A and B are shown apart, each in its own frame.
Chain A
Amino acid sequence: MEIFLDNAIDHVYAINTVWVALCAALIFFMEAGFALLEAGFIRSKNAMSIIAKVIIDIIFGGLAFFIVGFGIAYGSSNGWFAFDLGISKSDLGLDLTVSNNLFWFIQLGFAIAAISIVSGALAERMKLWSYTILVILFCAFLYPVVANWVWNPNGWLALRGFNDFAGSAAVHAMGGFAALAAAIVLGPRLGKYNSNGEANTIPGHNLPLAAIGGFILWFGWFGFNPGSTLGAVGNWELIGSVVINTFLASAAGGMSTMIYTYFNYGKIDITMVINGILAGLVAITAGCNVVGPVSAIIIGLFAGVLVDVAVIFIDRIKIDDPVGAIAVHGINGLFGTIAVGLFASDGGLFFGGGTSQLITQIIGVLSIAIFSFIFTFIIMTILKKTVGVRISREEEIAGIDSVSFGISSYSTYD
């Protein structure tokens, strides 16, 4: 023990390793949140299929991110792309005080979170193996390219001073706009729209399950944002303000949704309140390191209303998103990233910082959203033309669980 006590840098590494490992585990657990939230929001006949999708996100997406993805994201970048494989042993240029392997693990959490956003929007109607191909391509190439732009020290957005602390743009807008493109190619579920264009409700089968999923995501977010400090030593003030901002924005998001749905429909819609809380979390994720608590509340309040308007708008333009992933992650990822340019205490437009940060934020998040949308659209279209993306009409009516898995979620009498 004395050997280590002599060496101050070992302490820094040890403490930061504990901190990052803890946060990485919290982020990893968010997959449980995605799985339960999505399962609760869809019909019971397809509940196992969404669990399978989230498992695919982790196992196929995780291996793809290990073999190719991480190297593309954090290898020696030309600003847009890197050509490394696996986890490099050399210094990544990020001033890390944890091992590259642990850094890989926390980044894995971000990658699989991004693809899990997509899984919700494609619920109840997509072929499993086609989805698996999308997952592999997304985690091996699409997400890593964007992570390279934003978080690689040589990424073109990083060099411009783009502030996306924990990934409103790189994870949430990325996942949300991929979900948008994929849902457009896939088309709505049978029975979602009448021939006259009216939307039908397809209520989720287990709202308490969806709620516990929302709570787990909320819990995991306290690894997602504070963990992005990538170290605790010397960062305690930053971690404190990140935690506070994360909480305040989520509470404000839930609050504004609750009030909005109450005055709009005469009833509080708890399924939307869950989305409102998540919208607040998504929106604060980019700026939780640079905004003050009052700004965090304002960002959350706005996000909570934005998600309601966006859910209804997306429904109206006939894009079927059973869980609200596009509204929560795509639209609020966009808003949250731009909000940094408005609310940053240092450099934000509302705090006398002028427009340069704002313009950088807009350029960055739009580039990411457009990149994500176009490439997901291309991949989905190619899949549609070749192996097909849509399950058969019979399978959709009978339920994916009984046809593809030979099981139902709630099957026994005994």
Chain B
Amino acid sequence: MKKIEAIIRPSKLKSVQQGLKDVEIPCMTVIPASGTGLQKSYTKIYRGTKDSLTLQNRIMIICVVSDENLEKCVDTILNYGSDGQVGDGKIFIYNVEDAIRMSSKVRGNKAIH
């Protein structure tokens, strides 16, 4: 079991969600995030004062998938979530000990997709 954290552009959320649904990995948690990577920061002006330490708005998608679904899920996120530009985001992958579906108390791969 793997946990995928994908930080993507907010404008890509719809197409990534649709893409994951199409490959039958529909479960996700979405968190509004802000941060900065290698892209150039832009300068904000608020009431005449400049601010160059700005953060970009991004979306973090969290999916927990079985080992065999991992590559399919990552490929889909890359496919639908990337423009090939600096600032597209990052994907992190972690091992997961266990998962429990709370309604039926089912554990392991059966609790996830």
B-binding residues in A (CB < 8 A): 199-201, 203, 265, 267, 269, 271-272, 308, 311-312, 315, 324
Cα separation A202 to B15 with both chains bound (whole Å): 35
A265 in contact with B46 (CB, 8 Å)? no
Closest B residue, CB atoms, query A324: B47
Q: Interface readout for B23-60 with A: 1 if CB under 8 Å, 0 if not?
A: 00000000000000000000011111111000000000
A269 in contact with B45 (CB, 8 Å)? yes
CB distance from B32 to the nearest CB of A (A): 14
Beyond the given A265-B48, A311-B48, please list 18 additional residue pairs across the A-B interface where CB-CB is below 8 A: A199-B49, A200-B49, A200-B51, A201-B44, A201-B46, A201-B50, A201-B51, A203-B44, A203-B51, A265-B45, A269-B45, A269-B47, A271-B47, A272-B47, A311-B47, A312-B49, A315-B47, A315-B48
Closest B residue, CB atoms, query A271: B47
Contacts of A311 on B, CB cut-off 8 Å? 47-48
Contacts of B47 on A, CB cut-off 8 Å? 201, 269, 271-272, 311, 315, 324
Chain A CB count within 10 A is highest, among B44, B48, B51, for B48
A308 in contact with B45 (CB, 8 Å)? no
| CB neighbors of A among B44-100 (8 A) | 44-51
Contacts of B49 on A, CB cut-off 8 Å? 199-201, 312, 315
Cα separation A265 to B45 with both chains bound (whole Å): 8
Closest A residue, CB atoms, query B48: A312
Contacts of B45 on A, CB cut-off 8 Å? 265, 267, 269
Contacts of A267 on B, CB cut-off 8 Å? 45
Cα separation A269 to B51 with both chains bound (whole Å): 14
Closest A residue, CB atoms, query B52: A201
